[in-house]
Chains A and B, each alone.
Chain A
């Protein structure tokens, strides 16, 4: 084998966690908690998820004022143009606008910044934005963002002037949100593909704003919550 075809490194070790995941899944199937076919369908669905459809929605809205109006008025309908069907597709497949089918697109302006959270658990617009990052799931982020949004955004590196209003959107079982940020200067004449590349996951959650040249999310520290959690209250 030539150096050119050197195989990618791989973990050559079976971990207890890998074994635990498989054992839990097999027993759940054997006990009828779900079928092997159900699991395959969900796995395929999870594999398809990512932030690109939401980034494309934003890029299209920046380029097409009519599409932007549609996105803000009816996020579910606007999602169809980027290949996401909230009503007939996974995860609901209900064919009726029920749970998990209401996407709202929150339009930022130079004087208004939106940011998304789920204070109750970790509701997230998965069909259009993929799996939520670890920090989004933590009680620390969820509790503090609604109390001190400006300070939390500053911790993410987003310093907002005092005259910019911050609105926190609290996701829930029925309604999910993405942020439509302000198109940054320096992107004049860009294609949809170029624009979508700078609309990162963090921009769509609202903890970052798009910048030419920035196409990846910064690694975020995760902090534990100090106080006990009492979901029952």
Chain B
């Protein structure tokens, strides 16, 4: 067996251990949030992915490519760590979303309380009619 290709580390930033302690807002979602697989089964929907997955992918891309607030390599490394620990029991892509929010909170890109408030606003909006 031969292995082709060499990793390019020239543009990689220094990797740091992600902060793995739970974040209460995300813990509540992890415990009580209904994942797409359950919702799809309950409502008889066959789409394997939740509709918001495309938006999540675009957010991850934009965070890395535009102002480079969260570089792809760092996000993916932290997602790996968090997927093997805190969010181990959460399916994909819900796990990817929790890991992204976790990384953003720990880096100070968003504040946990602010995110909680915004979630309440978004929920009110989505359920107002």
Contact = CB atoms under 8 A, between A and B. Distances in A.
Contacts of B121: 23
B84 A21 contact: no
A219 to B, nearest CB: 9
Given A34-B66, A231-B77, A46 B4 contact: no
B112 to A, nearest CB: 11
Contacts of A213: none
Contacts of B11: 99, 173
Interface of B is mostly: helix
Of listed B5, B15, B58, B94, residue having the most chain A CB within 10 A? B5
B65 A27 contact: no
Contacts of B42: 11
Nearest to A131: B57
A20 B104 contact: no
Contacts, number: 196
Contacts of B84: 139, 224-225, 228-229
Given A10-B45, A13-B34, A33 B81 contact: no
Nearest to A173: B8
Contacts of B86: none
Given A139-B80, A229-B81, A229-B84, A12 B97 contact: no
A16 B29 contact: yes
Interface residues of B, number: 68
In this complex, the interface size class of chain A, counting residues with CB under 8 Å from chain B, is 35 or more
A150 B1 CA distance: 9
A99 B63 CA distance: 17
A64 interface: no
B122 A17 contact: no
A92 to B, nearest CB: 9
A183 to B, nearest CB: 23
Given A9-B45, A231-B77, 20 more contacts: A14-B126, A15-B50, A19-B123, A20-B98, A20-B101, A20-B119, A23-B115, A28-B69, A31-B109, A33-B69, A34-B69, A39-B59, A39-B62, A43-B55, A43-B58, A91-B65, A167-B4, A224-B88, A228-B84, A231-B15
Q: Which 8 A-B pairs have the closest CB atoms?
A: A16-B33, A42-B58, A34-B62, A121-B76, A34-B66, A9-B44, A43-B58, A23-B118
30 contacts: A9-B44, A11-B42, A12-B43, A13-B34, A16-B34, A17-B52, A22-B52, A22-B122, A23-B115, A23-B119, A24-B104, A25-B59, A27-B114, A33-B63, A33-B69, A33-B109, A39-B55, A39-B62, A42-B58, A42-B61, A46-B58, A137-B92, A139-B80, A167-B2, A168-B2, A173-B8, A229-B84, A231-B80, A232-B15, A232-B16
